[in-house]
Amino acid sequence: MEDLVQVLSKIKMPTHDDLLVGTETGDDAAVYQLNEHTALILTVDFFTPITDDPFEFGSIAAANSLSDVYAMGGKPLLAMNVVGFPADLVHEMLADVLKGGYAKAAEADCLIVGGHTIDDPEPKYGLSVVGIVEPGKQVSNANAKPGDVLVLTKPIGTGIITTGCKQGSSPPDVLRGAVENMATLNRAAADAMVKVGVNSCTDVTGFGLMGHLRSMVRGSKVSAKIRFGDVPVLSGAWDLLQQDIVPGGTFRNLQSVSDSVHWHEDLTEKQRLLLCDAQTSGGLLISVSQERLQSLLSELDAAGVATRAVVGDITEGNPGEIHVTA
């Protein structure tokens, strides 16, 4: 994350009266107002395979790309494929990857209308997505308020489990649970939060829970407290972590937040790594007022969102700081 911040600091970012959300706070997507009723949400994401099944890979990659629109409180409308694939594998395996992507987009009522493909020795797939939201109703990562409660809608640990898969160490049932988790759209969770009205939201992906929360508290100029014991974890992730199975991105995430996160002395390095685990298609991290917390939990339950974990609070401490208790 810090490397990217340094790179972007050398670039003069564009501003415009109709650009409602840009790059200033590292939000999940850009929001551009077309008129008083409609604003576009624009995002793109792609990555290398995380499972051996091409259809599953396509489905997860699409869900991950669509998630940024949901995190902003919007509805995805159109998408385009972003593909890098070895020429000698294109005909059979790529077709299955694309089928997975199209199936997941169809589930989201989003139309994939084309894309771009290059010959690449390492397969990559994702989507560029266009969504819509009513101007002023977009949910930013930069509006959390002191006194808010933090709610997480998916368990963490996908980075550890998929790394274990690559090493042949993840048991089939553990991998299956992670795949189902990653392939689940954040649509229901987003619908619930929009119905209730929340202050802030981000989805938890490559920078891990701590990295994305740090962007939220920095952008909102607030602090946060997280309770390690309340953070939901995918079945099997802790066992793999105990075997020292950790993706490289997770180590980088831990280092990246070292200047912002204050860890309780009882938390081990492995526990800290777990909270920094680089996620794929993770859940929504929602900042909601105490008064609306129960309504949000009830709406999430009614929408069939299995994970509705209250993991921490927004506080008035030093802006950008996170305190993690056991």
Reading the chain (326 residues) residue by residue, the pLDDT tens digits are: 556 666 666 777 778 888 998 888 787 799 999 999 999 999 999 999 999 999 999 999 999 999 999 999 999 999 999 999 998 876 778 999 999 999 999 999 999 999 999 999 999 999 999 999 999 999 999 999 999 999 999 999 999 999 999 999 999 999 999 999 999 999 999 999 999 999 999 999 999 999 999 999 999 999 999 999 999 999 999 999 999 999 999 999 999 999 999 999 999 999 999 999 999 999 999 999 999 999 999 999 999 999 999 999 999 989 999 999 99
Q: Are residues 53 and 129 in the same domain?
A: yes
Q: What is the CATH number of the domain that holds 34?
A: 3.30.1330.10
- Give me the percent of the chain exceeding a pLDDT of 90: 89
Q: Which of 133, 165, 180 is the last residue of a domain?
A: 133
Query: Among residues 157, 156, 127, 133, which one has the least CA distance to residue 241?
Result: 157
How many folded domains does the chain comprise?
2
Do residue 20 and residue 154 come from a single domain?
no
Q: Spell out the residues 6+ positions from residue 7 whose beta carbon is closer than 8 angstroms to its own.
A: none
124 close to 85: Cβ distance less than 8 angstroms: yes
42 & 78 share domain: yes
Gap between the Cα atoms of 52 and 93, Å rounded: 11
State whether 129 and 49 are in the same domain. yes
The verdict on residue 254 lying in a domain is: yes
Residues 176, 310, single domain; the answer is yes
What is the pLDDT, as a whole number, of residue 65? 97
Which of 108, 133, 158 is at the close of a domain? 133
Final residue before a domain boundary, out of 104, 133, 162: 133
Q: Where are the alpha helices (DSSP H) in the chain?
A: 2-8, 54-71, 95-107, 158-166, 172-183, 187-196, 208-220, 237-242, 248-256, 269-275, 293-302
- Note the pLDDT tens digit of each residue in 87-128: 887 677 899 999 999 999 999 999 999 999 999 999 999 999
CATH number for position 240:
3.90.650.10
Q: Looking at residue 10, what is its pLDDT?
A: 72
Confidence (pTM): 0.94
- My answer on whether 309 and 166 are in the same domain is yes
103 with 164, same domain: the answer is: no
141: in domain: no
Give yes or no for a contact between 151 and 297, defined as CB atoms under 8 angstroms apart.
Answer: yes
Short-list 226, 227, 190, 210, CA closest to 279: 210
Q: Work out the angle between the directed axes of helices 95-107 and 54-71 (0-180°, nearest 10).
A: 40
Minimal CA–CA distance to 67: which of 129, 132, 21, 134?
129
Whether 232 maps to a domain, the answer reads yes
In a domain, 168, yes or no: yes
Domain of 221 in residue numbering reads as: 149-325
Indicate if 17 and 70 belong to the same structural domain: yes
> How far is it, in rounded angstroms, from Cα 172 to Cα 43?
33
Q: Is the same domain home to 46 and 154? A: no
The answer to whether residue 143 is domain-embedded is no
Same domain, 174 and 258: yes
